[in-house]
Structure 1
Amino acid sequence: MENKIFVDAHAFDGEYQGTLTYLKELYLKIIQINPAIKIYFGANNVKNVKKHFGKFNNVEFIQYNSKHSLKRIFIEIPKIIDALECTHAHFQYVIPFIKNKKCKYIVTIHDILFNDFSNEFSFLYRIKRNFLFRLTAKRCDFLLTVSNYSKQKISEQYKIDTDNIMVTPNAISEDYFEFNHTKVESRNYINSKYGISNYILYVSRIEPRKNQVLLLNTFLNEKLWLKGYQLALIGSNTLKSGLLESIDKLEMEVRKSIHWIEQVDDSDLKQFLNGAEIFVYPSKAEGFGIPPLEAGALFTPVLCSNVTAMVDFDFFKPYFFNPDNKIEFDKLFLEIIENKEKINLEEIHDIIKVRYSWEQSARVLLEKVLKA
């Protein structure tokens, strides 16, 4: 029987985030390995999905009628699956209440960090997601996650045998390893387009658990702007953490050295990552943590948190720190600035290339779920 898989691609409707990258890279690789599989992508912003998958003959696009998430997942999508007679359907975090008995339901729960770091999330946020995620994890046919850390936490907190959870790790797109701009070219581009130079970079959403405040405070306390450095923060201000308001209150001399950009496209993101003096990732909690790997793939020095799923990124040692230890962070931050030329960036690049490949994740889905 021909595999016909429906993919809920509503992640392409909003801000750029890890879920979008996961779906894009995973299915690009699946199509490359087995172009015979029929894939239907459902989204409100079909145009955005077509930018990545429009050239493939085995792909079709379904325009959602509803913009309301609950109506989409619980009413509209079940009707689409029935009409298309899909053999499989892939969702992120939540599956519909009503299941088609002829269709196998796949879900990727990327993380349940809201339980381990409950003080970072509201009570209602945690209650709603725990109810939906636990129900989904029990009812789906195939449960996926993106790291061993998340696998263990989902198993412990939702009482699911680890043998019933498959890991399809996030990885790094091949075009990061094929990027052909020099550091000088990227720095000139960023300076010309954004007016930013000699910058320390952070990439991810602005919210408390991402811990940008640690980076900002050290930048300010060490008066790095007086040493010619600038700070670039790229990411949407999702939870209104107050970080940006704090920056706005700084004196103009300091404030002009700190730049927040809500979102950049893929091409400019690579230029930013490639041109950075160093990349700093002080997050307290990640279900995976792609940005430091992308920076490392581009031979940029990385100072990275060593907790939750990021514990696996030990190749960044000695610039690998506990985000709750400010003294350790301050010491390593100043050290990496002084010693960045001594880091074996080629070795880090090579480890990331071997260890984080989308083909590995695609084959888990193809061989264990789709059995293609």
Structure 2
Amino acid sequence: MATNKIKIFVDAHVFDKEFQGAQTFIRELYTRLLADHPDLDIYFGASNTANISTIFPDLPKANILPYKKRGIGLLRFVFDIPALIKKHQFNFAHFQYVAPKNSPGCKYVVTMHDVLFNDFKQDFSYLYRISRNLLFGNSIKRAHIKTTVSVYSQQRICSYYNIPETDLHVIQNGVNDTLTQFHSSKKEAVEIVAQKFGVRNFILYTSRVEPRKNQLLLFNKYLKLELYKRGIALVFIGKESIKIPALTQLIKGLSDEQKKLFYWIKQVDQPDLAAFYRACRLFVYPSKAEGFGIPPLEAAICKAPVLCSSATAMQSFHFFEPYMFDPVNEKDLERKLSLMIHSPPSDSFTAKVAKQVQQQYNWEKSSNIFYNLIQSNYNS
């Protein structure tokens, strides 16, 4: 006897923008759900429908719903999304951070990744904080299913918006194992990066460039330790999402010797990203604030030596010990950076960390938790 499929609408407007963590969350979560749960009928809404087709190549075209291109993106919540929910009679609608007014017959799932704008007010404008608290707070309170990506974010969100922790479910990010399948060895990855980007013997940091990500701290320590004099390069991969005047000035003031060994690459594809992770001498992640923190875990599964911040959500990454540091304590970073350059962790240590990350952070586990939440709410 045939059963009706559960119809889910996903607001996928984040794929219309520059890369951010919410893209990884939606892409990986729904890739697993589409593969493992044929009883779900999943639709995506976005302005760039071609991009959705690329990300989910096996998805029927009819399941990709276009938003009208408007000057103000939030208008999709007023016009496009309510109309689509009404037309298609969705059982659930999944939103990141912000949801429209509730629609009859449709249960809302809201994933709020963090409230870093409240915890680190100095890195966000007053208007940004006020508007996000109004929109995000109202949305998470109204949601039928409330989710976030880490225990740290769960605690902070519940504290700010007076939500019982039992009502906010943790669907943590996983790490995409495909990164480990692109290159057969570190030697191969080293040659790929050298031939394609002209870089060898380098320290790596991947993430958007903005103040809380703390690229400036790493750069200052790299220069203070004079690692460039040892032929060690520094590589940033990520677009600048918030201007950092001090970083701009630092780069302008580099000597010719220093400039030759600094590389800022705005974006690379997955195979090249995997090659950078695999080829790097050291991956350093000095971020002050993360709702989760995917890059050091990606580096770890590629068996890169990782020196990671212990702040916010990353305090859960115990497997990196003793190679963790407090980003507020600059001497701690400087000491451990120097230590790892001179005495890097063994291959057996990095292999052990890779295994722990893969076991603890995988999308199969997370998608099963999400699926069970959908099932239990569908039947209630």
- Please give the range of the TM-score, normalised by the shorter of the 2 chains: over 0.9
From 202, 206, 211, the counterpart of 2:205: 202
Secondary structure of the 2:110 match is strand
How many angstroms does 1:82 deviate by?
A: 0.9
RMSD across aligned C-alpha pairs, in angstroms?
Answer: 1.4
- Aligned 8 A contact 2:182 2:271 in 1: no
How many angstroms does 1:57 deviate by?
A: 4.7
1:140-155 correspondence runs (5 A): 140-155=143-158
1:272-311 correspondence runs (5 A): 272-311=276-315
In the alignment, does 2:132 pair up with 1:163? Answer: no
In the alignment, does 2:360 pair up with 1:362? Answer: no
Amino acid at match of 1:296: A
From 116, 120, 139, the counterpart of 1:117: 120
- Distance in 2 between residues matched to 1:209 and 1:133, nearest whole Å: 20
How many angstroms does 1:339 deviate by?
A: 1.6
Q: List structure 1 segments (4+ residues) > 3 angstroms apart after TM superposition.
A: 56-59, 177-180
- Aligned 8 A contact 1:35 1:58 in 2: no
Secondary structure of the 1:200 match is strand
How many angstroms does 1:36 deviate by?
A: 2.9
Superposition TM-score, scaled by structure 1 size? 0.97
In the alignment, does 2:62 pair up with 1:79? Answer: no
Query: What is the match of residue 258 of structure 1?
Result: 262
In the alignment, does 2:108 pair up with 1:105? Answer: yes
- Distance in 2 between residues matched to 1:184 and 1:299, nearest whole Å: 13
In the alignment, does 2:11 pair up with 1:8? Answer: yes
- Distance in 1 between residues matched to 2:78 and 2:343, nearest whole Å: 54
1:181-260 correspondence runs (5 A): 181-242=184-245, 243-260=247-264
Query: What is the match of residue 327 of structure 1?
Result: 331
Superposition TM-score, scaled by structure 2 size? 0.95
- Distance in 1 between residues matched to 2:341 and 2:198, nearest whole Å: 21
Identify if the C-alpha distance between structure 1 residues 57 and 69 changes in structure 2 by more than 3 Å, giving closer, same or farther. closer
Question: Matched residue pairs, number?
Answer: 371
How many angstroms does 1:79 deviate by?
A: 0.7
How many angstroms does 1:369 deviate by?
A: 2.0
**Deviations along 1:97-130, whole A, 9 cap, x unmatched?**
2x21110100100000010100111100000000
In the alignment, does 2:365 pair up with 1:348? Answer: no
- Distance in 2 between residues matched to 1:17 and 1:266, nearest whole Å: 14
Secondary structure of the 2:159 match is helix
**Deviations along 1:52-91, whole A, 9 cap, x unmatched?**
2121459711111134321112221111111111111000
- Aligned 8 A contact 1:38 1:58 in 2: no
- Please, which runs of 5 or more residues in structure 2 have no aligned partner? none
- Aligned 8 A contact 1:41 1:59 in 2: no
- Distance in 1 between residues matched to 2:264 and 2:183, nearest whole Å: 26
- Distance in 1 between residues matched to 2:38 and 2:183, nearest whole Å: 28
How many angstroms does 1:244 deviate by?
A: 3.3
- Aligned 8 A contact 1:177 1:353 in 2: no
Amino acid at match of 1:34: H
- Distance in 1 between residues matched to 2:100 and 2:69, nearest whole Å: 15
- Please, which runs of 5 or more residues in structure 1 have no aligned partner? none
- Distance in 2 between residues matched to 1:176 and 1:233, nearest whole Å: 18
Secondary structure of the 1:232 match is strand
- Aligned 8 A contact 2:297 2:357 in 1: yes
- Between 133-142 and 31-40, report the one with greater CA deviation: 31-40
Identity over aligned pairs, percent = 41
Secondary structure of the 1:193 match is helix
How many angstroms does 1:341 deviate by?
A: 4.7
